[in-house]
Amino acid sequence: MNALPKFRLDRTRLATPQVLETLREAIVSLELAPGAALARAELAAHFGVSQTPVREALLRLHEEGLVDVFPQHATLVSRIDLTAARQAHFLRRSIELELVRELALQTPAGLVDALRGQIALQQALAEAQHYGEFVGADRRFHQLLYEAGGMPALHGLVARVSGHVDRLRRLHLPTAGKTASILRDHRAIADAIAAGDPQAAQEALRRHLSGTLSSVEAIRRQYPDYVVDGG
């Protein structure tokens, strides 16, 4: 379990959600790569908990398609399923296109400043090549849109079904020019919202979300053991 980050259990919270959040983040960030074996006893020792919350967390991850469970044999981090990635992308794009349209038509006070502040943070992280933190800042940029639109629960829903497409994006992120294109698109979305231009906001968002899936074949060639077509 050397790939897992150091962990300290918060005794004021239930153990299972903490184990689940940590394992999901490790999988999505590729700290736990596709094919990595997950032993319950080792995980329980790492987290300082019994095997029960570990088992429950792994079952949840199995439901999300992020681990494959082979009874009496092994539990492995799943490979990236392109079918699941495309479906999650369709859901996210459908929601966020409507979201940015509404926010451009009626912009909550402080939203544009918050978006631009997040873009400035991403710029600094990109220059430092802190990709893990860059991903977190990117996620927060989109979360601000959901919160401003009064749809925070939908952000959680999209996150739970987006493990496969998020892993594709993580593989794609170090590609030359990728962080620059993300920053360009985020600026375009923020500017369109500030200008009250729903069409421009939707065009910028559509371009922004299409980048990784349009590069799937290049990603597959570079990481052939990580990606499957699904079904």
pLDDT value of position 19? 95
Indicate the pTM of the whole model.
0.87
Residue 231 pLDDT > 70: no
Which residue ranges form the domains of the chain, and what is each CATH number?
15-78 (1.10.10.10), 81-228 (1.20.120.530)
pLDDT digits (tens, 9 = 90+) for 131-171: 889 999 999 999 999 999 999 999 999 999 999 999 999 99
pLDDT band per the 50, 70, 90 thresholds, residue 229: confident
Q: Identify the residue with better confidence: 83 or 230.
A: 83
DSSP of the chain, one letter per residue?
Answer: -TTSPP----TTS-HHHHHHHHHHHHHHTTSS-TT-B--HHHHHHHHTS-HHHHHHHHHHHHHTTSEEEETTTEEEEPPEEHHHHHHHHHHHHHHHHHHHHHHHHSPPTTHHHHHHHHHHHHHHHHHTT-HHHHHHHHHHHHHHHHHHTT-HHHHHHHHHH-HHHHHHHHHHTTSTTHHHHHHHHHHHHHHHHHHT-HHHHHHHHHHHHHTTGGGHHHHHHH-TTTEE---
